[in-house]
Chain A
Amino acid sequence: MGKIILLVEDEPTLQKTLSLALQQEGYEVKNALDGEIGLKLARETNPNLVLLDLILPKIDGFEVLDELKKDDATKDIPVIVLTNLESTQDIEKALALGATSYLVKANYDLKDVIEKVKENIK
């Protein structure tokens, strides 16, 4: 059975391109366009990894991350933060909340992101 990746990303272009590339790598991709749906899908589908944007409608990425890590059912799912924010504060905050890795979108090619996914997926 294919592994499930939950992609929480509100930007249509990034969501389309990344989910397509992940599908071609053989992963099953669940898409969430805002934080609320992201949390809901994380609880329902129990994904093997979450790719999480930080600036999101409804509930922002930090809060999603916090909720995921507080809940016993979801706390062991690796979360890779995928964002365009890169202040030291944001990075420290995300890592302190339990993010596995922190990537600045514009600085990575798709294949680098997929590489990170392969490294961290459980």
Chain B
Amino acid sequence: MFAKLNLFKECQEYNLGLWECPSFIFMVLGLVNIVAMLGTYFIANRYTDQPEIVALIVIGVSAFIFILSHSVTQGFDKLAQANKMKTEFVSIASHQLRTPLAGIRWTLNLLNDGRMNNPADTATCLGLVKENTERMIKLVNDLLDVSRIEMGKMTFMPRQTNLYVLAQKIINGSLRFAQANNIELKLEASETLPNVFTDPDKITMVIQNLIDNAIKYTKGKGEVKTTMEATDGLVKVAIKDTGVGIPRSQQKHIFQKFFRSDNIMKHQTVGTGLGLFIARSVIEESKGKIWFESEEGKGTTFYLTLPAYK
């Protein structure tokens, strides 16, 4: 009962600002109404010979109430939209989870029905189960990240971080994946690159994701080049590929949740469509910027800047 009275908590739970939050605005409306009525009564009593003053006050109060009501509808709109997005989110997420789940189910069927007769086949099956399990874990982690970002509850633990050291580790870890795809990985940066103040785990995830994308969407022989430089108190990172590029018509959607470009779907249907959404949130949380330049058929360069640590 009393929990209902704690409007601030409720507004916070809905992730709405106070002036967007219907229950808070309704309370303000009620108070304004009472005060306005009393005020009008006293003023009308005092200035009985000047009815226009009272009329003006009433008009003023009505206008104020009108504006507040407008915010109420906006608040409701925002809630309704959030609800719709959640429904879409659940439907897309469950569809994406089903593919690895079906993979695991069918592989287990093969093992269980005794269809695999020699140890090599059994090992292949177990490998498939492992691969699909990892894919599901990655998807669930991404979904949780997105959900935390949207609730404003992402845990962000910034500390001094050297992007060059970090990129070296990522690139070393990606060499095999790159070689398998016939891609050469390059890293160019001065070893005296200033540190930045950010969450190293989160930024690793972002750079890893950008490099993975660059490798994944470069068909045939190619190159992915990461450069880092310090400019005007910023550290600027560029990840340039010679890949399929992003069609002009789709460029504005690229950071949207679950968005995947038409032309990449023609090459590969695996992918969550969450990586760049998470990347942008992480970079913005570190007071940085992320953007890209791309030409279809020629390649894409993603840029990000983070403030240098002083």
A54 to chain B, nearest CB (A): 10
Answer yes or no: A121 CB below 8 A from chain B CBs: no
Residues of B within 8 A of A91 (CB): none
**Interface magnitude class on chain B:** 20 to 34
In the complex, number of A-B residue pairs with CB atoms less than 8 Å apart: 65
Q: Is A97 an interface residue (CB 8 A)?
A: no
| Residue B105 is within 8 A (CB to CB) of chain A in the complex | yes
Distance, CA A10 to CA B106, complexed state (A)? 15
SS class, residues of chain B in contact with chain A: helix
Q: Does A57 contact B (CB under 8 A)?
A: yes
Indicate with 1 or 0, residue by residue over A76-98, a CB within 8 angstroms of chain B CB atoms: 00000000110100000000000
Q: Which of B99, B131, B132, B265 has the most CB of A within 10 A?
A: B99
| B45 CB-CB contact with A under 8 Å | no
CB-based contact B115/A24 at 8 Å = yes
Of the candidates B98, B100, B115, B131, the one whose C-beta lies within 8 Å of that of A21 is: B115
CB–CB A17/B109 < 8 A: yes
Query: Interface size class for chain A?
Result: 20 to 34
CA distance A87 to B94 in the complex (A): 12
Q: Which of A63-122 contact B (CB under 8 A)?
A: 84-85, 87, 104-106, 109-111
**Known contacts A20-B115, A21-B115, A109-B105; A13 and B128 CB within 8 A of each other:** yes
B265 touches A105 (CB 8 A): no
A53 to B214, CA, bound (A): 27
A2 to chain B, nearest CB (A): 17
Flag if A84 contacts B269 (CB, 8 Å): no
**Is B99 a contact of A57 with CB atoms below 8 Å?**
no
Which residue of A14, A58, A104, A109 contacts B103 across the interface (Cβ within 8 Å)? A14
A3: shortest Cβ distance to chain B, in Å?
Answer: 19
Closest chain A CB from B87 CB (angstroms): 12
Tell whether, in the assembled complex, residue B109 and residue A110 are in contact, meaning their CB atoms are under 8 Å apart: yes
Alpha-carbon gap, A20 to B107, bound state (A): 10
* Distance in angstroms between the alpha carbons of A87 and B131 in the assembled complex: 28
Query: What are the residues of chain B within 8 A of A55 when measuring CB–CB?
Result: 265, 269
Interface string of B21-41 (1 = CB under 8 A from A): 000000000000000000000
Contact partner of A106 among B91, B98, B110, B113, CB < 8 A? B98
B193 CB–A CB distance under 8 Å:
no
Q: How far is the CB of A26 from chain B (nearest CB, A)?
A: 13
Within 8 A of A (CB), among B268-284: 268-270
Looking at the assembled complex, report how far the CB atom of B105 sits from the nearest CB atom of chain A, in whole angstroms.
7
Say whether, besides A13-B128, A14-B99, A111 and B109 are in contact (CB < 8 Å): yes
Q: Select one of B99, B107, B269 contacting A105, CB under 8 A.
A: B99
What separation, in Å, do the CA atoms of A105 and B94 have in the docked complex? 13
Does A57 lie within 8 Å of B106, measured CB to CB?
no
CB–CB A18/B113 < 8 A = no
Expressed in whole angstroms, the Cα–Cα distance for A87 and B102 within the complex equals 18
A115 to B51, CA, bound (A): 86
Which B residues are in CB contact (< 8 Å) with A13? Answer: 100, 103, 106-107, 128, 131-132
A-B contact pairs, 16 of them (CB 8 A): A10-B269, A13-B100, A14-B102, A16-B128, A17-B103, A17-B106, A17-B107, A20-B115, A21-B106, A21-B113, A21-B115, A55-B265, A57-B269, A58-B266, A84-B102, A110-B110
By a beta-carbon cutoff of 8 Å, the part of chain A in contact with chain B is 10-11, 13-14, 16-18, 20-21, 24, 55-58, 84-85, 87, 104-106, 109-111
